[in-house]
Structure 1
Amino acid sequence: MRQSVEKIVQAVGGKENIIAATHCVTRLRFALKDEGKVDKEALENIDIVKGSFSVNGQFQVVIGQGLVEKVYNEMIEMTGLGRATKQDIKDAAEKKLNPLQRAIKTLADIFIPLLPAIVTAGLLMGLNNILTGPGIFYEGKSVVDVHKQWRDFADMINLIANTAFVFLPGLIGWSAVKKFGGSELLGIVLGLMLVHPALLNAWAYASAVQEGTVPYWNLFGFDIQKIGYQGQVLPILISSYVLAKLEQFLKKRIPESFQLLLVAPIALLVTGFVSFIAIGPVTFGVANALTDGLVALFDRFAALGGLVYGGLYAVLVVTGMHHTFLAVDLQLIGSTGGTFLWPMLALSNIAQGSAALAMMFATKDEKLKGLSFTSAVSAYLGITEPAMFGVNLRFRYPFISALIGSAIAGIFITINKVQASSIGVGGLPGFLSIFPEKWAPFFIGMAIVLIVPFTLTYIFAKTKGGK
């Protein structure tokens, strides 16, 4: 193993090119001085290396669970590098990012910790869809219509599933304030404050405007709408930034002995007033305008939207920009009750898996066969990085084949108005998050991304004489 570790160090540019190194469950993570010095071909020819890629300023080498820790320990002993934490690597890598990359990374750092709660909610909502969707098992009727004893069971599942979305600002508040350097507990309170039951529910706002029943606060002669921000993303993001920076400002100027009594109350009170008076109304309007514009764009140019987003989603993953669209999905779900973007994500993941699976049948390289199979299974279950960075991008034509299949499927499901009621597992189980009445076109789209990328990749591979 020592020889393999030496080869890894040399392939990433040598010890002098490594700023810091750590590892996660399966990968070595490097902050490098110059990624241009990496010899990817040499790196991926090392027996224990299953793939490599660069994301958010970090260069990552896929080793595998269990073995990666042994490799890391050997590397530290061999090179004399100090042990680093994941945060050390993130901090070192972030210094090399441009402003746009930093903004994207900030959104990723806020929303990625929320994925377990959101995906779990999506899966449970999928189960609820199966029980309450008409025409799945009985013609024109749902399971709970035929078996009424299951109605309350389904209702309880729906309540558990909806909690993450109903109190989404609370989750975002926790993660965002933590990212911006404030107290995450205050972030939770701020988020829950924006969806307080005493406020008009955001989902009832449009009808309240038409009926003229929107409640108001009267603050010194100014009327402030007394509305909540359920399902909204922008209001809590901006408010969290204000809260965190105000808390930092106060901690620097208030003596430590008085901070417990003054910092949190002042920060929360000021941020609360600013949120309801300015941040909330402005961002609520901006978010709704953007949502309406996006919906109108996909309504008028459905095929083009499906072609572009479906075909290029995997490219967004390569650049790391896909994390920004998680916020868009959540905004669409909160404002319209469903998202037409997420179904294309699910099919894009399957397409990458199909292309990787084709390489398993086309190649003669035993190591590549194993990597192709395991990474294909991972992609079919929603994790595409091993397939994309370990196989498809390495040979290019599998990646392009996957893009073609994903684009065709994107056009088809967008024309057929396929939407997801929630964010779930972005692979084969993704149908659980799709509205049941749109399962048929979604399954056709799924068939497209299973067949087209596999067929194209296999033909290209055989044309090139295999590997």
Structure 2
Amino acid sequence: MNHREVAKQLVSLLGGKENVVSATHCATRLRLVISDEGQINKEAIEELDGVKGAFSSSGQFQIIFGTGTVNKVFADFGPLVGVSEEEEKAPASHSDAAKRKMNPFARFARTLSNIFVPIIPAIVAAGMLMGLLGMMNTYNWVDPESGLFVMLDMFSSAAFIILPILIGYSAAREFGANTYLGAVIGGIMTHPALLNPWGLSNAEPSTLDFFGFGVEMLGYQGTVIPVLLTVYVMAKIEKGLRKVIPNVVDLLLTPFLTVILTGFFALLVIGPLGRALGNGITTALDAIYGTAGPIAGLIFGGLYSTIVLTGVHHSFHAIEAELLAQIGGNYLLPIWAMANVAQGGATLAVFFKTKNKKTKGIALPASVSAFLGITEPAIFGVNLKYRRPFIGAAIGGSLGGAYIVFAQVMANGIGLTGIPMFAIAKDPINYGIGFLIAVTGAFVATLLLGWKEETK
């Protein structure tokens, strides 16, 4: 593959250098913000050597090359469209450009994603530790009173106890505020003077008299929505203060007033309202999960990949984190995982049946990628392109989702699906059964539905 030649052809097929507003890349795809997508020759781009698919999503036009190849193509492509190495290493400007092209709802979902994605490694680590502790306890590998067990239990719960601090830092960065002030606000909401509700069910907090108002001294350890709302308000306060406070005293007065004003808002207004909202969302989801049962898994598992096309799925991380904090488990992620691996099953069916060499070359690595939790190559490179395999994947996702809910499989974290999710699944055996049902169902459904084969 001539990476430089492919990069040159891409510039032309994208409508020229002037049509590319911003460019970056992830592990598998070029991510481009385009001024006028009507100038793009999508069919010709998909025929380029090394291209495994192209699609528009979340305000970006994305071209799938695969791991390793995308880096080499971008090395030649970036200079051709005027993107320097420094600009590529500063993704904030690219993210802002992409957001401006989104509708408000997609922009909101992307904002939540930007806040929670950096936190996922901490939650995944905690979830894997919880799984290890569960196995130690179930099979009596270690005495629960031993020093090893107690220390591992501390390690596993730490991320959730200080979750508001992690979210405060990440949210402040996304909202354009001082990140350390965001962390301080998270610290206020988890202060030792407030009763820690993490792991407590019947403890009653004391009430503080604040100028005639009763303030419940209950902490926000493990919560999500209260700190999100509070840091959003903090960002508004900080930006407002910087406009009116003279530069000579800005360093002293702005942080001082921001912390005081936001702290009062957090404990008196936003925190209690955010807690009520978070509890309401959790209660509503529990009601649907408990009442509809496998039918809920059937619907959610079948529709999830369609939701992915809209970009709205980025907002689910916040809901999943709230579930982990409130009930100690995430029952949504295993359902999403069934939809993801079903895409791999459908793509695998295409691989075995297609006679198109390029499609066959794309389908096998795309299916493996889906089994590892990365579905874009399968969805946009194969299944959505032929349409009926996408429907077959939805059928497989529905069947797997129904079984997962029937078996009440939960996860100890967020962010991992496919094979990696075995590390955080509370019931790996039933998760594996659901995995096989989803993949097999999608494979068979795709073969039965068939699709119109390309002649070229």
Structure-1-length-normalised TM-score = 0.89
Q: CA deviation at 1:272?
A: 0.9
**Match for 1:53 among 44, 47, 55?**
55
Q: State the partner residue of 2:117.
A: 112
Deviations 1:89-123 (A, max 9, x none): 32222222221122112111111221222223222
Q: State the partner residue of 1:410.
A: 401
Q: State the partner residue of 2:354.
A: 363
Matched-pair identity in %: 41
Q: Give the distance between the partners of 1:447 and 1:273, measured in 2 at CA.
A: 52
Q: State the partner residue of 2:108.
A: 103
**Match for 1:159 among 148, 154, 157?**
154
Contact 2:28-2:64 at 8 Å conserved across structures: yes
1:392-407 map, 5 Å: 392-407=383-398
* Distance change (3 Å), C-alpha of 1:346 and 1:10: same
Q: Structure 1 stretches of 5 or more lacking a match?
A: 135-141
Q: Relative to structure 2, which stretch is displaced further, 335-344 or 121-130? A: 121-130
1:309-458 map, 5 Å: 309-423=300-414, 425-436=416-427, 439-458=428-447
Q: State the partner residue of 1:93.
A: 98
Q: CA deviation at 1:80?
A: 5.6
Contact 2:328-2:412 at 8 Å conserved across structures: yes
Q: CA deviation at 1:389?
A: 1.8
AA partner of residue 93 (structure 1):
A
Q: Give the distance between the partners of 1:316 and 1:396, measured in 2 at CA.
A: 15
Q: Give the distance between the partners of 1:375 and 1:253, measured in 2 at CA.
A: 54
Q: Give the distance between the partners of 1:251 and 1:449, measured in 2 at CA.
A: 54
Q: State the partner residue of 1:254.
A: 245
**Match for 2:190 among 188, 192, 195?**
195
AA partner of residue 439 (structure 2):
L
* Distance change (3 Å), C-alpha of 1:181 and 1:403: same
Q: Could you say what secondary structure the match of 1:207 adopts?
A: coil
Q: State the partner residue of 1:137.
A: none
Q: Give the distance between the partners of 2:72 and 2:424, measured in 1 at CA.
A: 39
CA RMSD, Structure 1 to Structure 2 (Å)? 2.5
Q: Relative to structure 2, which stretch is displaced further, 27-36 or 232-241? A: 27-36
* Distance change (3 Å), C-alpha of 1:466 and 1:356: farther
Q: CA deviation at 1:244?
A: 1.4
Q: CA deviation at 1:347?
A: 1.7
Q: Relative to structure 2, which stretch is displaced further, 56-65 or 151-160? A: 151-160
Contact 1:363-1:466 at 8 Å conserved across structures: no
Q: State the partner residue of 1:126.
A: 131
Contact 1:291-1:332 at 8 Å conserved across structures: yes
Q: Structure 2 stretches of 5 or more lacking a match?
A: none
Q: Give the distance between the partners of 1:122 and 1:445, measured in 2 at CA.
A: 20
AA partner of residue 55 (structure 2):
F
Is residue 242 from structure 1 mapped to residue 246 from structure 2 by the alignment?
Answer: no
* Distance change (3 Å), C-alpha of 1:198 and 1:383: same
Q: Give the distance between the partners of 1:17 and 1:444, measured in 2 at CA.
A: 48
Deviations 1:116-160 (A, max 9, x none): 22223222322223222x3xxxxxxx233xx54995434433322
AA partner of residue 300 (structure 1):
T
Q: Give the distance between the partners of 1:113 and 1:95, measured in 2 at CA.
A: 22
AA partner of residue 226 (structure 1):
M
